[in-house]
Amino acid sequence: MDDDFIEEELVENVTNCPGCNEQCGHDVLKQKPAGKGFNYLLKCHDCNHVHTVELRPPKPILIQILLSEGADTRSGEIEIDDDEELHLGDIFEHDDASWEINRIETKTGNSRTKLEAGKIGRINAVRSDVVMVRLTLTRGEYSDSESIFVEREKQFKAGSIMQHAGQKWKIRAIHTGAGRTMTGRVSAHEIKRIYLHEPPRIEENIPRTPRERRQAWKEGKLGHNPNPIVPDAEKSGKPKQQRPGRRQKKKRK
């Protein structure tokens, strides 16, 4: 056996002893029902002091809440034990949704970062499972502001194409609390604003050369083709089609 190993002693019925003024183990001498709880007559293991401890279940109380979901705000109540301590950032369930506490007020209206439920006057909370993402949509020289509601963990990728209001838009940049980013993915709850550029023009996506058409075929843009074939123009050795406006080089004699 390892000499450094020390077996921990299990101490039962630990509570504060008035004789020792410390947390000590106790023997239960007597137990008596009282209301919804119990009264215990205890004897301290350390100083043999005998004293009574009353245990009662916490009392449920109603707390006023102000719930914000985007531009909509409504008031309500939640039931909570009077000895429970609430903190900023705590998340709770209410009306089949998740809410995050963003303000705790005393009964006199002062703000606190944490507070026992019995001392709380009101708490403010915002919807946490669904968040609002603000958009700036730019088409040419004109920009509009809109917003969407999405799941908290939904990912947006800078530089990708997204659907909005029945149209395709390119995500030019994503603004977070740390600044703008033009690359990478960001979760919806971390986003302050998404900047969208006008939808890609349809004609810009039309494959023109045999190579572009073959690549588009492989990518499924021209329909499903499990076995892409090389166009006849390339098989026969004919010169590839040139885009309009490009000059062909002349062969030297």
Quick one: how many helices (H) and strands (E) in the chain? 2, 21
Please state whether beta strands 15-17 and 50-55 pair in parallel, antiparallel, or not at all (unpaired).
Answer: unpaired
From residue 31, how far is each of 11, 18, 42, 43 by CA, in Å?
A: 19, 19, 9, 12
Residue 213 DSSP code: H
Beta bridge partners of 111: 105
pLDDT tens sequence for the chain (253 residues): 455 544 445 556 788 898 888 888 888 898 888 877 888 899 998 899 999 888 877 788 999 999 988 778 999 999 988 888 999 988 888 887 888 899 999 999 999 999 999 899 999 998 888 888 999 999 888 889 999 988 888 999 998 999 998 888 999 999 987 888 888 899 998 899 999 998 666 555 566 677 777 777 666 566 555 655 555 555 555 555 555 555 555 556 5
Could you tell me the two tokens for 233? 């123009």
Residue 190 DSSP code: G
Instruction: Note the pLDDT of residue 1.
Output: 44
- Residue 125 CB burial class (10 angstroms; 0-12, 13-18, ≥19): buried
CA dihedral 236, 240, 244, 249 (to 10 degrees): -110
> What's the whole-model pTM score?
0.45
Instruction: Note the pLDDT of residue 6.
Output: 45
Q: Which of 77, 185, 65, 194 is nearest to 131 (CA)?
A: 194
User: For the range 118-121, what are the long-range contacts, defined as Cβ-Cβ under 8 Å and sequence gap of 24 or more?
Assistant: 118/61, 118/82, 118/83, 120/63, 120/86, 121/64
